Chains A and B, each alone.
Chain A
Amino acid sequence: MSKANKNDNSRRNFLQKLGIAGASAVAGSALLLQGCNNSNKASGNKVKVLTADNKLVEVDVAHLQPGDKIKDLEYLQDRGREGIPGKKFVMVVDLAKCKNARKCMKACQSAHQLKPEMHHINVLEMDDPVRHTSYYMPKPCQHCDNPPCVSVCPVDATFKRQDGIVLIDNERCIGCRFCVAACPYSARSFNWTEPKDAEEFAEVTYDMELNVPQKKGTVTKCAFSADRLRVGKLPYCVSACPNGVYYFGDANEDLVTNGTTKKTVRLSALLDENAAYTLMPELGTKPSVYYLPPRQSKG
């Protein structure tokens, strides 16, 4: 009962917000145009929104407030496929620092509406054959530059964007699981049954950059938290790590930022100085995730 109420409330709030944006956009007042600090040139993309008195009006996407845009599926789908121009996102995982805290897995699972056995990022205990010890290796999707999963998709449901991120559109996925079979890193997961808390998410508009709400019968995968990158925030897993394992950034800038310490360093220097490697380079998948070896940490 209370859950239903909450849903209802949030929906009303959202309609009201839309109503305000819609009504003022229709009025086309100069005041609103002044109010928008970003570009408010009409983009030509129209969306339908409900006004406060329950009328459907068409509004240019550029005239909506950021909070309102994200309720429109078509807008979200276009944005998700387009990606962020000029960026090439990379992750660096410092294995020497990983202490298997698993905060990354938790943050990821709660952000992406995943069941406990579903992983966008999975911390594996790996054998070190030389030293006869084991080390912990977080394994997200490698966001390959030659992605075998994308090659085999029959319907373009999984695709690579201009910023290097490999995403899945679960509005289009037919659930053939060819990508799951093709991924050598076992980075993909499938919604075999009704997703977790499906009822709670029933009203939420699908955002492929977050891949929420999850849908039964579709594949899900790590998205490098594309929704967070868009607003200049580090991915969920990167921010959640207490041990400074993850660096994340833009290879075009040659800068990566540590999610724990927030220290920003040069990507090329970090990789060179620490003898970085990628997983199974012999497969030619060209991952965007680099690993720093599990050596004795110098701090």
Chain B
Amino acid sequence: MKNYKHYRLIILFCLCFLAVANVNAQSDWQLTAKENESLSPFLFDDDMILEGKISYENSCTSCHGMPGQADYTPMAPSPGDPASDQFQLQSDGALFHKIKTGRGTMPKFEDVFADDETWNLVAFIRSFNENYKQPVPDLGGIEIPEYSMKLAFDENIDKLVVKVFAKELPQSDVSVSAFVKGSFGKYLIGKAQTDELGIAYVDVDPTLPGDAEGKLDIMVKVTKGYGLAKMNANMIMAKPTVRKSAIEGRHIWSNDKNAPIWLKVSFFITIFGVWLVLFFIVIGLRGINKANKEEE
């Protein structure tokens, strides 16, 4: 509580200071040592970076621009480019807590992003630093468990049932996210946590179109701490949809082979009909010479 008051005072002070002096007060960002040293409970991977990118583009680009492009909005204090040393020399914990708490014109994102989403953002920012190596705490001999899972779809309640194991034992409190693998990206179906039986239920929208049998290509990811497992599956869980070709049927715009019958018939009958008559007339002109002989 005391800490909190202290914080508010500082923010108030900073705001006043900014308003009056208008200086870059980056170093004035007060973080506790603990906050500074806190580490991500997840190993940064491509999925985290991608999700971080989505959050970043929605919430951060308007001031910070795209990392590495130095196209941040020119204002004071300068928001800075997250790919620059100004950011990259800070610890993971510092970035994480600064995003969470905000300061001055930098909004507070505590209520916008859950902790794991904030770590996604850190992972994204770190992806612009080639020299970065993620610091991992000393696990004290504890092994990172190897997760495995079983998938099933309960069509009565439209839920994807994910059961997570490690060494044959069900695992509780594991985060499960399920995605549909689309042509160009993964669509998040939903997220859930496993219960004490190691089972998580992910809601599936029954209107999702599958293939002719209702099958969908999905990817399920489970994470807990530094433990991570992914599984791809192709299972019946969506609305069976017949994928029609866009050029089925006979249309004016179809190729010649699929032209409307009435058009083909009327065109060819007319043209061939007329040419047949012309052909007979040309042949019949021989009758003129013949007429000479007949009357002789």
Q: Within 8 Å by CB, do A and B touch in the complex?
A: yes
Residue contact A266 to B187, C-beta cutoff 8 Å: yes
How many angstroms between the C-alpha atoms of A160 and B50 in the bound complex?
Answer: 34
> Closest chain B residue to A247 by CB distance?
B184
* Of A22-30, A209-217, A250-258, the one with at least 4 CB within 8 A of chain B: A250-258
Question: Hey, which chain A residues are within 8 Å of B208, CB to CB?
Answer: 254, 266
Q: A126-167, CB under 8 A of B: which get 1 and which 0? A: 000000000000000000011110110000100111111000
Whether a CB of chain A sits under 8 angstroms from the CB of B182 is: yes
Chain B residues 190-230 with CB under 8 Å of chain A are 205, 207-209, 211
Q: Is the CB of A88 within 8 A of B246?
A: yes
Tell me whether A264 is interfacial, beta carbon within 8 Å.
Answer: yes
Contacts of A3 in B (CB 8 A): none
Q: Would B245 and A234 count as touching, CB distance under 8 A?
A: no
Residues 252-282 of B contacting A (Cβ, < 8 Å) = 252-253, 255-256
Question: Assuming the A-B contacts A244-B57, A261-B54, are A253 and B247 also in contact, with contact meaning beta carbons closer than 8 angstroms in the complex?
Answer: no
Beta-carbon contact of A264 and B184 below 8 Å? yes
In the assembled complex, how far is the CB of residue A147 from the closest CB belonging to chain B, in whole angstroms? 5
On B, residues with C-beta under 8 Å from A are 50, 53-54, 57-59, 66, 180, 182-188, 205, 207-209, 211, 241, 243, 245-247, 251-253, 255-256
B253 touches A160 (CB 8 A): yes
Judging by beta carbons under 8 Å apart, are B187 and A262 in contact? no
Set of chain A residues within 8 Å of B205, measured between Cβ atoms: 266
Contact with B along A85-110 (1 / 0, CB 8 A): 11110000000000000000000000
Given A151-B252, A242-B66, the answer on whether A162 and B247 have CB atoms closer than 8 Å is yes
A145 to B249, CA, bound (A): 12
A159, A248, A252 — most chain B CB neighbours (10 Å):
A252
30 contacts between A and B (CB under 8 A): A85-B245, A86-B211, A87-B183, A88-B243, A88-B246, A146-B251, A148-B253, A150-B253, A151-B253, A160-B247, A161-B246, A161-B247, A164-B246, A242-B66, A244-B57, A248-B184, A249-B182, A253-B182, A253-B183, A254-B209, A255-B182, A255-B184, A255-B185, A257-B184, A264-B182, A264-B184, A264-B185, A264-B188, A265-B187, A299-B58
Chain A contacts for B59, CB-based, 8 A = 299
Tell me whether A191 is interfacial, beta carbon within 8 Å: no
CA–CA, A82 and B243, complex, Å? 16
CA of A163 to CA of B207, assembled, Å:
22
Check: A263 CB closer than 8 A to any chain B CB: yes
Q: In the complex, what distance in Å separates the CA atom of A87 from the CA atom of B243?
A: 7
- Report yes or no: A255 in contact with B255, Cβ–Cβ below 8 A: no
A-B contact count (CB 8 A): 86
Contact digits for A147-191, partner B, Cβ 8 Å, 1 yes 0 no: 110110000100111111000000000000000000000000000
Partner of A250, one of B50, B183, B252: B183
Given contacts A253-B182, A260-B57, contact A160 B246 (CB under 8 A): yes
How far does the alpha carbon of A204 sit from the alpha carbon of B185 in the complex, in Å? Answer: 31
A66 close to B (CB within 8 Å): no
Q: Please give, as numbers and ranges, the residues of chain B lying within 8 Å of A257 by CB-CB distance.
A: 182-185
Q: Is A67 an interface residue (CB 8 A)?
A: no
Q: Mark A residues whose CB is within 8 Å of B.
A: 85-88, 145-148, 150-151, 156, 159-164, 229, 232-234, 242, 244, 248-250, 252-257, 260-266, 268, 299
B253 lies within 8 A of A261 (CB): no
Chain A residue nearest in CB terms to B210: A253
Kindly list 14 other residue pairs between chains A and B, CB separation below 8 angstroms, not including A150-B253, A255-B180. A87-B183, A147-B253, A159-B255, A160-B246, A161-B247, A162-B245, A162-B246, A233-B184, A244-B57, A249-B182, A255-B184, A261-B58, A263-B185, A264-B187
Residues in B with CB closer than 8 Å to A86 are 211, 243
A-B CB proximity, top 7 nearest? A257-B185, A264-B185, A255-B182, A162-B245, A257-B184, A164-B246, A150-B253
Among A85, A164, A254: residue with most chain B CB under 10 A: A254
Please tell me if the beta carbons of B256 and A156 are within 8 angstroms of each other in the complex: yes
Q: How distant is the Cα of A299 from the Cα of B26 in the complex, in angstroms?
A: 27
How many whole Å from A78's CB to the nearest CB in chain B? 14
Residues of B within 8 A of A145 (CB): 246
In the assembled complex, the CB of B49 is this many whole angstroms from the nearest CB of chain A, namely 10
With both beta carbons as reference points, the residue of chain B lying nearest to A144 in the complex is identified as B253
**A232 to B183, Cβ gap below 8 A?**
yes
Choose among B50, B184, B241, B245 the residue with the greatest number of A CB atoms under 10 Å from its CB.
Answer: B184
Which of chain B's residues have a CB closer than 8 A to the CB of A148?
253
Task: Please tell me if the beta carbons of A234 and B184 are within 8 angstroms of each other in the complex.
Answer: yes
Could you say which residues of chain A place their CB within 8 Å of the CB of B256?
156
